[in-house]
Structure 1
Amino acid sequence: PSPTPSQAPEAEEIRAVDVTVSQLLDGSAQTLAQQTGCDAVVVQVKGEWGKLQWPSQAALARQLGTVSTTQSLTQALSALSAQDIYLVARVDCFRDQALAAANVGSSLLMTRGGNRWYDSMGMSWVSPVNTQVRQYLVDLCVELSEMGFDELVLDSAYFPDQGEVHVLAQSTNYPDTRTTVVEQFWQEVTQALEGSQVRLSAQVRGDSLVEGGVTSGMTPQLLAQYTQRVWVTLNKATTQTQVTRVLTQAGIDTTRQLVVQEAASGQTIWE
């Protein structure tokens, strides 16, 4: 069954700039936002190496040694929020080298030859099928929602969609039908965040959207059902017009709910 919709307000148009945790802490994030004409900042709080940028209480994070000792992040977020700056946290999900190295729950994605699989960036992935991994990510999202972020952008919150995915071994961890598994994860996150004011969004590749999410399992229809905004990275083979067409057909209002990455003055800008 579909989850009860979040109580978070509808998404509005934004212009955002990527910043680091250090820039949040030293106050330069606000200056950068002003210089680039942005009303929002995006900070990666969990990257592909699995390192967390806040003192998480998640037991698995402590076992993996990925917990940050930075205690002042929440205070920095409050200061920025007081300046009417919209706060976005980016979370890498199943592309996680710490989870993969520990092979948590035997969730590591493997090749047909029985080797550890790597994407085009040399990164390993764990499977969205694994309940322990999914619960860990859900717990992290709940913590972030309580820290003062306005929006959570989940990246790699699906199966791999870049690199030699054709050599992935079909198994329990990598089933033929992947959309059902991806939807289950998004249902769990949505239900865990129910009642909070945080918006839930996804970061996806434009070419993956144009192909209908066949490889990743993250279809335009799932994006329309579970996300309040879609953050898209484009490559030379995919245009924004193509992405807009696909999302519009799925029922997404691209004037408010679509943001696309661009480079401006050496900064990564989203609008």
Structure 2
Amino acid sequence: MRRSQFDYHSYRGRKTASFWLKWIALVLAILVVLAVAFLLWGQQYISYTDNGLRVNFPFSDHESKDPDVGNLDVIDQEPGDGSGDTSDQGDTSQEQQPQEKTSSKAINASLSAILDGSAAQLVQEQGADSVVVDMKNDQGQLGWKSQQSLASAVQSEAQDDQVNEKLKSWNEGDVYTVARMSCFRDEAVGGQMAYTLQTTSGYRWKDGDGMHWSDPSNQKVQDYLIGLMTELAQMGFDEIVLDHCGYPTQADGLLSNIEYGSQQVSQVMNDFLAKAAKALEPYGTTLSLEVSQEQISGQDGNSGLTAQNINQYGQRLWISGEEQAVLSTLTGAGVENPQQKLVLYVQQFSSNSTVSQARLS
């Protein structure tokens, strides 16, 4: 017995190196056996992938997360096309396209009804889809605050300082709105000697109703009117129809004493309408003319409007008369697409009409 410092215990002797070598050899033999068994038994669960060796044990989720390239559909798609739909889209003519307004029904609305919004109810009640509002009447009074230097007369309903903003707000709505302008029949500007249509004796000419007209050949007058049209377009009006656009006609009174000047009346109107069309083009505003059958047919050429300039610049033509007779006159004058251009003045809307109609008081 060998005693330690604190106690005694039996002495069993030191373990030799051969003892440890035997144990190491035994452990290695067991590991080799296990490795061989694993290779034989687990071979079906071992796969080689691009990412290295993969072992799928039967008790784990054995579905491979790598796609089976043999079952993939290859999609050949243009860069930047995020739709992912490369199927045949079919006939493009079947795609929905915006339709042009082929016919309409217009009623007259007062400026006050436009400003307070009640014109929308009038449109619905009367079975219409458009309104016409007098934005420059025969007196030369405007329905808005204009920045033009010759603007001097304003309609009573347009005294509101917010009138322009209210008109813009209305025009942002769904109702198609036409601004009527009396061009050269204008008591406010035509009554001024510097801009009036004169007689051969140098006096201010008056029509049968005692109204003065501004001179169509006066460049300041033309610039004034085109400036007004531009302001209306900027406020969002869909269409501008020009009434009394030209020199007075036979229906307006005695014409023999008018001083026309050296320039041909048709050339005066050609130049004016060309400038008006160019001014409205950026806004997409329709330029229309209120004309008579006599002007179109050439029986009354005193105004300067001819079948040629009417056809060229009048996107829509507002005319009184019987429908078939008016269409026949337009066709005979060579007006293109007469059914699409015509707006016929009527007493009552007709469901059988093939053209646009306007019922105005």
TM-score by length of 1: 0.82
- Is 2:235 the counterpart of 1:166? no
What letter is aligned with 1:166? L
How far apart, CA to CA, are the structure 1 residues paired with 2:124 and 2:166? 20
Note if contact 2:171-2:236 (Cα within 8 Å) is conserved in structure 1. no
Structure 2 unaligned spans of 5+: 1-98, 350-357
Q: CA-to-partner distance for each residue in 1:93-150, whole Å, 9 max, x for gaps?
A: 11100111222xx332233454432223322111110000000001010000010110
What letter is aligned with 1:229? R
Counterpart residue number, 2:345:
261
Counterpart residue number, 1:139:
227
Q: Matched residue pairs, number?
A: 249
Note if contact 2:179-2:241 (Cα within 8 Å) is conserved in structure 1. yes
How far apart, CA to CA, are the structure 1 residues paired with 2:302 and 2:137? 22
- Is 2:211 the counterpart of 1:123? yes
Q: Give RMSD over aligned pairs.
A: 2.4
Note if contact 1:77-1:87 (Cα within 8 Å) is conserved in structure 2. no
> What secondary structure, in the 3-state scheme, does the structure 1 residue paired with 2:150 have?
helix
Note if contact 1:11-1:199 (Cα within 8 Å) is conserved in structure 2. no
Counterpart residue number, 1:183:
270
Counterpart residue number, 1:6:
none
How far apart, CA to CA, are the structure 1 residues paired with 2:195 and 2:171? 38
Q: CA-to-partner distance for each residue in 1:64-94, whole Å, 9 max, x for gaps?
A: 3448433235435534643x21011001111
What letter is aligned with 1:52? L
How far apart, CA to CA, are the structure 2 residues paired with 1:113 and 1:72? 42
Note if contact 1:24-1:73 (Cα within 8 Å) is conserved in structure 2. no
How far apart, CA to CA, are the structure 1 residues paired with 2:165 and 2:104? 22
Q: CA-to-partner distance for each residue in 1:206-255, whole Å, 9 max, x for gaps?
A: 33333355111111221111121001134xxxx44343223223233122
Distance 1:144 1:80, change over 3 A: closer
1:159 shift after superposition: 0.9
Counterpart residue number, 1:72:
163
What letter is aligned with 1:91? M
Aligned runs of 1:86-101 on 2, under 5 Å? Answer: 86-101=176-191
> What secondary structure, in the 3-state scheme, does the structure 2 residue paired with 1:224 have?
helix
How far apart, CA to CA, are the structure 2 residues paired with 1:251 and 1:262? 21
> What secondary structure, in the 3-state scheme, does the structure 1 residue paired with 2:177 have?
strand
What letter is aligned with 1:29? A
Q: Which has the higher contact order (CA 8 A, sep 6+)?
A: 1
What letter is aligned with 2:284? Q
Structure exhibiting the larger radius of gyration computed from Cα positions: 2
How far apart, CA to CA, are the structure 2 residues paired with 1:75 and 1:176? 41
Aligned runs of 1:1-271 on 2, under 5 Å? Answer: 12-61=102-151, 64-66=152-154, 68-70=158-160, 71-76=162-167, 78-79=169-170, 81-82=172-173, 84-103=174-193, 106-161=194-249, 162-172=251-261, 175=262, 177-234=264-321, 239-248=322-331, 249-264=333-348, 269=359
How far apart, CA to CA, are the structure 1 residues paired with 2:203 and 2:192? 15
How far apart, CA to CA, are the structure 2 residues paired with 1:33 and 1:65? 29
1:184 shift after superposition: 0.5
Note if contact 2:286-2:315 (Cα within 8 Å) is conserved in structure 1. yes
Structure 1 unaligned spans of 5+: 1-8
Note if contact 1:159-1:217 (Cα within 8 Å) is conserved in structure 2. yes
Percentage of matched positions with identical amino acids: 33
Residues 159-168 or 144-153, more deviating: 159-168
Counterpart residue number, 1:5:
none
> What secondary structure, in the 3-state scheme, does the structure 2 residue paired with 1:56 have?
coil
Note if contact 2:115-2:170 (Cα within 8 Å) is conserved in structure 1. no
How far apart, CA to CA, are the structure 1 residues paired with 2:247 and 2:150? 21
How far apart, CA to CA, are the structure 1 residues paired with 2:179 and 2:104? 14
What letter is aligned with 1:228? Q
How far apart, CA to CA, are the structure 2 residues paired with 1:79 and 1:25? 7
> What secondary structure, in the 3-state scheme, does the structure 2 residue paired with 1:232 have?
strand
How far apart, CA to CA, are the structure 2 residues paired with 1:210 and 1:241? 15
TM-score by length of 2: 0.63
Q: CA-to-partner distance for each residue in 1:164-211, whole Å, 9 max, x for gaps?
A: 343233442xx5721100010001111112221211111112333333
How far apart, CA to CA, are the structure 2 residues paired with 1:188 and 1:102? 24
